[in-house]
Amino acid sequence: HKLFAMLMASPESHALRHAFFAERAASRVVDMPADTPTRRIARVGVIGAGTMGGGISMAFLNAGLPVVLVEAKQDALDRGVATIRKNYDNSAQKGRLRPEQVEQRMALLQPTLDFARLADCDLVIEAVFESMEVKREVFQQLGAIARPGAILASNTSTLDLDALAACTGRAQDVVGLHFFSPAHVMRLLEVVRGKATANDVLATVMQLAKTIGKVAVVSGVCDGFIGNRMLEHYGRMATFLVEEGASPQQVDRALEAWGMAMGPFRMGDLAGNDIGWAIRKRRSVEKPNVPYSRLADRLCEQGRFGQKTGKGWYRYAAGNRTALPDPEVDALIADYRREIGVTPRTIDDAEIVDRCIDALVNEGARLLAEGIAQRASDIDMVYLAGYGFPAWRGGPMRYADEVGLFMVARRMRQFAAQPGGDAAFWQPAPLLAELAAQGKTFNVG
């Protein structure tokens, strides 16, 4: 009994219970009537047979929904279908699926080069290249051919959903469905609610998320939505820490020891460093006041995009995903420090964790105040279900509550005062400062 009582009173137990209730709360949309009707989804269209498109298709095939998979070129379509088949065969070899289940799922897949085949789909999700021009064109075509009342969704991770919706001539039917890679495995689905998104569209995709086994979290429209908008600052801090004297290995090790599934540099290599590079180029125009370390750009200029090129922040032996330290990267970092006149200092693991995790918290406080997230526990859910945040810490906002918001705000002011620190970013967000002063928490109850 004593042991049980001790465990139940532990912060880990509180955090796991928080996660349990957070998942249930996330499915409730604050300002939507409980009796909002839903639309019938019997056939799904997916545009783009790359990694994302293939994973999204599998998520629906697994739930028994037929999928029309559209690609522009035959070789890309064949490659996409072969990857889906390979993934299912691997599951069958591991005993997770029976051979006849594999065939049933493959039989529900309808690969095609004919865009017009999307005309009888109830939901169409585009997973094409992350570029405004490319996606605009797709949405204009969809607006023209999709049946009336079909839901048109974008898998964009950062682009302006309202601008995409405007191209269709039926903005009320447009919603963001931001899946996380690999889409058939990761539980998080960020549902982006545009300013025109109809209530029944939102109600339908929230219900559909449950059908395909996803945890749906509603986000408003902003650059990066909830997860990636916060992650941008986590990544910025990680790179500044390396610039100031840590190594990528030390940063990764510190955050993994703290509980993250994967450190930021191993994560970058897995996702592809070129993706972040493209986003930084766009943001340098749109948000010139946000400082970045140029170190990640130097890495990308050398073609070190990560696992797919065999070299990133680490090097990789052929056919092996083990991250190996690379002296070339050490030299690149040393050169860069000399160039910007930085004398490396010794950085302890506690500073690494505090700067990276507090960066998530501070941006989380800002988007909570803006109404991008409905509630603090939704932000926690995004990080638990999509970013490998340790469940036993309950998510970034819940962790800040645990440490005490007064202590978190004080730590941020220390970072603001560091020589060369990003003083503007480290001003505690108004909501955080206010709650800290009142002795309150982000998560109520």
Band the pLDDT of 196: cuts 50, 70, 90: very high
Band the pLDDT of 225: cuts 50, 70, 90: very high
Is a pLDDT exceeding 90 seen at residue 42?
A: yes
Burial class (CB in 10 A: 0-12, 13-18, 19+), 333: buried
Q: What is the pLDDT of residue 158?
A: 82
Q: What is the pLDDT of residue 58?
A: 98
Q: CA-to-CA distance for 435 and 406, rounded, in angstroms?
A: 8
Q: How many residues does the chain have?
A: 445
For the chain, percent of residues with pLDDT exceeding 90: 87
Band the pLDDT of 2: cuts 50, 70, 90: confident
Distance in Å from the first CA to the final CA of the chain: 26
Q: What is the pLDDT of residue 6?
A: 84
Is a pLDDT exceeding 80 seen at residue 420?
A: no
Is a pLDDT exceeding 70 seen at residue 103?
A: yes
Average pLDDT over residues 388-399: 97
Q: CA-to-CA distance for 52 and 46, rounded, in angstroms?
A: 10
Q: CA-to-CA distance for 272 and 231, rounded, in angstroms?
A: 15
How much is the mean pLDDT over the chain? 95
Q: What is the pLDDT of residue 316?
A: 96
pTM score of the predicted model:
0.94
Q: What is the pLDDT of residue 3?
A: 85
Q: CA-to-CA distance for 46 and 58, rounded, in angstroms?
A: 10
Q: What is the pLDDT of residue 278?
A: 81
Average pLDDT over residues 139-160: 95
Say if CB 191 and CB 226 are below 8 A apart.
no
Say if CB 86 and CB 217 are below 8 A apart.
no
pLDDT tens for residues 297-329?
999 999 999 999 999 999 999 888 899 999 999
Q: CA-to-CA distance for 208 and 177, rounded, in angstroms?
A: 11
Is a pLDDT exceeding 90 seen at residue 192?
A: yes
pLDDT tens for residues 237-285?
999 999 999 999 999 999 999 999 999 999 999 988 988 888 888 777 7
Please name the amino acid found at residue 422: D
The helix or strand, by DSSP H or E, that contains position 217, with its residue range, turns out to be strand 215-219
Average pLDDT over residues 11-27: 94
Is a pLDDT exceeding 80 seen at residue 1?
A: no
Band the pLDDT of 127: cuts 50, 70, 90: very high
Cβ-based neighbours of 133, under 8 Å, separated by 6 or more? none
Average pLDDT over residues 83-100: 96
Average pLDDT over residues 59-73: 97
Is a pLDDT exceeding 70 seen at residue 340?
A: yes
Average pLDDT over residues 337-351: 96
Is a pLDDT exceeding 80 seen at residue 290?
A: no
Band the pLDDT of 427: cuts 50, 70, 90: very high
Q: What is the pLDDT of residue 275?
A: 82
Return the half-sphere exposure (C-beta side, CA atoms, 13 A cut-off) of residue 271. 20
Distance of CA 36 to the CA centre of its chain: 28
Average pLDDT over residues 395-421: 94
Q: How far is CA 28 from CA 123, 318, 377, in A?
A: 22, 46, 12
Q: What is the pLDDT of residue 48?
A: 97
pLDDT tens for residues 162-185?
999 999 999 999 999 999 988 999
Q: What is the pLDDT of residue 20?
A: 94
Is a pLDDT exceeding 90 seen at residue 96?
A: yes
Q: What is the pLDDT of residue 445?
A: 62
